[in-house]
Amino acid sequence: MYDGDDDVTVSRRTLLRASAGTAAFSTIGAGSAEASGSDAGTPWLDDRCPDATLEPNMGHCVEDGMEGCADDHPATVELRSGVQAALEERYPDVGALIDAGYQPYFDTLEREDDSYSHWINPEYVGDDAVLDPERPASVLVDDESWRSIGVMFVATRNGEEIDPPAVYGGEASDTEPADDAPIGATADPETPCSPWHYHSGLPGRFAWWYYKQAYEHDFADGDIDLPCRTPCMLHVWAIDHPESVYAHHAPPAESREQEPAAEAGFETDAEPGTDELGWDVLPDDLQPEQRPEDLAALVPGL
């Protein structure tokens, strides 16, 4: 688990050694799959990760967990209002996130929507809070305006993965919501809202592995294996989303139009609203020694 009091620097040699171990695992997996006649489309898989995929892929942590969710449910309204207040008062933009200890976590390997980024706080991933709007594990930032647009909670407690808690609701009932009920309709109070998801695709697994190595220093304990899946994660969007407050993907570009941050909040020649937020605009003290794409070259399939 990350200890905020430790000043640990990830050396190039250490991360490369960790990546080499991951690459070796992937190569071994390729041989095992080929020998067993597995699907040639995912030759790097082995029995350790039967649900993993080569392409980006996610799954629901709780079966039908979105079915009980409603944007107008009091618990959703309260949670979203808390997120909106926290982003407005404490984490409005990149400069504020840096001051609060958040680290850049650009999802350059996801191959999907790269117009927003995750900023992650190792202290909050490692504490005992799970659904605390004032201590979100990750804040989602629009890379054009450099402003926060939502949060991502991670189902960990004291740094260890846990079963995700329902946002509201008890045991699932036998009563299913109407097929034509909009997401914003009032949900069955006995059907839990538990919209958590995990990533089992190689890009998402690698992204979480990169975070654990670069910011939590798992390599120090000899833990260098690529995980079979990420912990359970939950998005709460502070801005309007046409699908749901809890939608897994970012709101469309037209929903994210807003005034750019007044200033960068750190030393850079780039400007919010003019330059896209990314690794290249960050100062040296926010740059990891190895970016994700540097290490991805060592992992077959990426």
| Per-residue pLDDT band at 232 (split at 50, 70, 90) | very high
Closest by CA to 198, choosing from 157, 233, 246, 151, is: 233
Coil, helix or strand at residue 148 = strand
Most confidently predicted of 174-183, 188-197, 241-250: 241-250
The model's pTM is 0.79
- Give the pLDDT confidence score for residue 290 in this predicted structure: 76
Greater pLDDT, 160 or 184? 160
Res 153 pLDDT > 80:
yes
Q: How far apart are CA 53 and CA 39, in angstroms?
A: 11
Greater pLDDT, 13 or 87? 87
Res 140 pLDDT > 90:
yes
Structure tokens at 74: 């009091």
Residues 6 or more apart in contact with residue 15 via CB below 8 angstroms: 213, 214, 219, 289, 290, 295
- Give the pLDDT confidence score for residue 64 in this predicted structure: 87
| Per-residue pLDDT band at 89 (split at 50, 70, 90) | very high
How many other C-beta atoms lie within 10 A of the C-beta of residue 269? 7
Closest by CA to 136, choosing from 153, 119, 117, is: 153
Residues of the chain with pLDDT > 70: what percent? Answer: 72
Give the CA distances from residue 166 to residues 29, 85, 194, 215, 293, in Å, rounded to whole numbers and listed in that order. Answer: 36, 22, 4, 28, 35
Q: How far apart are CA 294 and CA 101, in angstroms?
A: 24
As a whole number, mean pLDDT of residues 58-64 equals 90
- Give the mean pLDDT of the chain: 78
The per-residue pLDDT for range 183-205, each reduced to its tens digit, is 444 556 567 899 999 999 888 88
Q: How far apart are CA 250 and CA 239, in angstroms?
A: 10
Coil, helix or strand at residue 20 = helix
The per-residue pLDDT for range 33-59, each reduced to its tens digit, is 333 333 434 434 457 788 888 888 889
- Give the pLDDT confidence score for residue 170 in this predicted structure: 62
As a whole number, mean pLDDT of residues 147-161 equals 94
Res 91 pLDDT > 90:
yes
Res 291 pLDDT > 90:
no
Greater pLDDT, 109 or 62? 62
